[in-house]
Amino acid sequence: MKKTKIIATLGPSSNNKEVIMDMIKNGVDVFRINLSHSSRELTEKLVKIIKKIDKELNTNTGILIDTKGPEIRVNGIANGYVNLYKENTIILTTSDFLEEENMFHITYKNICKEVSVGNRLLIDDGLVELLVMEVTDCNLTCKVLNNCKLFNNKSVNIPDVDLNMEFLSKEDEEDIAFASSLSADFVALSFVRSSNDVLDVNDLLIGLRDEHMQIISKIECKSALDDIDNIIKVSDGVMVARGDLGVELELETVPMIQKKIVKETYLKSKISIVATEMLSSMEHKNRPTRAEVSDVSNAVLDGVDALMLSGETAIGENPVNTVITMKNIIEATEQSIDYEQLLNVHCNTRKDDLTSSISYSVVETANILKAKAIVASTLSGFTAKKVSAFRPSCIIIAPTPNKKVATSLSLNWGVIPVLVSVFKSTDQIVDEALKISKKMLELEKEDKIIITGGFPFKNNKNTNFMKVEEII
């Protein structure tokens, strides 16, 4: 069983029950719905499909809603795209009227006040490069710097300009409230610039009385790196969104930034996600490149919680095959992880609370005894998350009586949530742990499992026991 989680983006290639079901069966843990491309009507429909399939398969699939954020996009392109050639001239306008063939709409109304002649515009993760030649009240006249295709609704980066865009627009507030109404498990915040942006969303969730939805901060602009420690601290997790990040920064710096962020989130016991072009060649091919396989494998070796598929599953020709390929790479790589080294990285982190101390001991014991599983009974998800943070060599089964808690654990490394009734005694916890483990794993005589949790189950907020069980 793989421990690193897979997020799959839904889109035209996968927006139906059959494909969604096949992706869940083949390893998808969380589905991402991007509100930049999905209407609320479609989003609501997809969430209902996922929840229905979960009931049929007895699974606990997470739902991640991706906000638009303070983004800039180009649209108004007839037939969906246009071929551009080096030295062409095009006009990007904030006007509602497209008066010429080479004129397209740009969504940020104040862009002509903030952009100057000589600035670069990079569209579609840098595949389209433009140079601003002239600026008027509502038009940017740009020279095309490369042969390319310009597609509708692609995002625009302006790496040399710090734009004065508000982070949380009214539309984003409404989108987050909408995600909350759907009981989404995670909200991914686009273009986070500082920890204050995250805190604003946290305040919004408090106002909505939503204690369930977790905040994933997308790291995709320069300013976020200046406040990365605080962003990690106030977020439930972070996503290294390499598309926009690779446009904002020199490409060669992105791999080491990715490694640093994954390590820092790991040390702070937060969720880490790596995204963008993990297996992008599989949008049109049946096999990934060797470089893509190495990319996925290296992220797994770094201890990332989850890897995200974007266009591969949203618009790719074979989303299910892509998921299977990623799962196979993950499982092969996880056999080579040095779990002792991962645990040693955590040796100097604080473990002075009861749950952290016992969770560390549970993982250390599991590694020494080569346990087949850790069973972390949890009412809030806290115990399972703490055990996951120390990266044991075995899977973590998380029995919980709460469906929301089960889906909230869908991004945590190594955790397999299982719905159960409320436990009334430690004996019941142990008995159920053995029953679940035997059902899920091919256990043999003398195999060991580690059982941990808090008791009394209802009222205790800490993990306070650990038990080693040997199969007889």
For 413-467, the pLDDT digits (tens) are: 999 999 988 777 777 888 888 888 988 888 888 999 999 987 665 655 677 788 9
Which of 18-22, 112-116, 309-313, 456-460 bottoms out in mean pLDDT, i.e. has the lowest? 456-460
- Predicted local confidence at residue 459, as pLDDT: 59
Kindly list the domain boundaries of the chain, sorted by start residue: 5-70+167-334, 73-157, 340-470
The catalytic residue positions are 32, 73, 218, 276
Identify the CATH number of the domain defined by range 340-470.
Answer: 3.40.1380.20
State pLDDT tens for residues 204-222. 999 999 999 999 999 998 8
State pLDDT tens for residues 38-50. 999 999 999 999 9
Integer Cα distance of 58 and 196 in angstroms = 39
196: Cβ contacts below 8 Å, ≥ 6 apart = none
- Predicted local confidence at residue 409, as pLDDT: 98
Same CATH fold assignment for domains 5-70+167-334 and 73-157: no
Assessment of whether the complete model's pTM goes beyond 0.85: yes
Instruction: Report phi then psi at 251, rounded to 5.
Output: -55, -40
The span from the first CA to the last CA of the chain, in angstroms, equals 23
Integer Cα distance of 371 and 434 in angstroms = 13
Class at the top of the CATH hierarchy for domain 5-70+167-334: alpha beta
State pLDDT tens for residues 325-367. 999 999 999 999 999 888 887 766 656 677 788 888 999 999 9
Positive or negative: CA dihedral 165, 71, 169, 75: positive
Which of 60-69, 241-250, 255-264, 274-283 bottoms out in mean pLDDT, i.e. has the lowest? 241-250
Domain 73-157 has CATH 2.40.33.10: yes
Hey, which residues does 73 pair with through a beta bridge?
155
Number of neighbouring beta carbons within 10 Å of residue 295:
22
- Predicted local confidence at residue 58, as pLDDT: 94
- Predicted local confidence at residue 141, as pLDDT: 96
- Predicted local confidence at residue 298, as pLDDT: 96
Average the pLDDT over 127-151 and give the result.
95
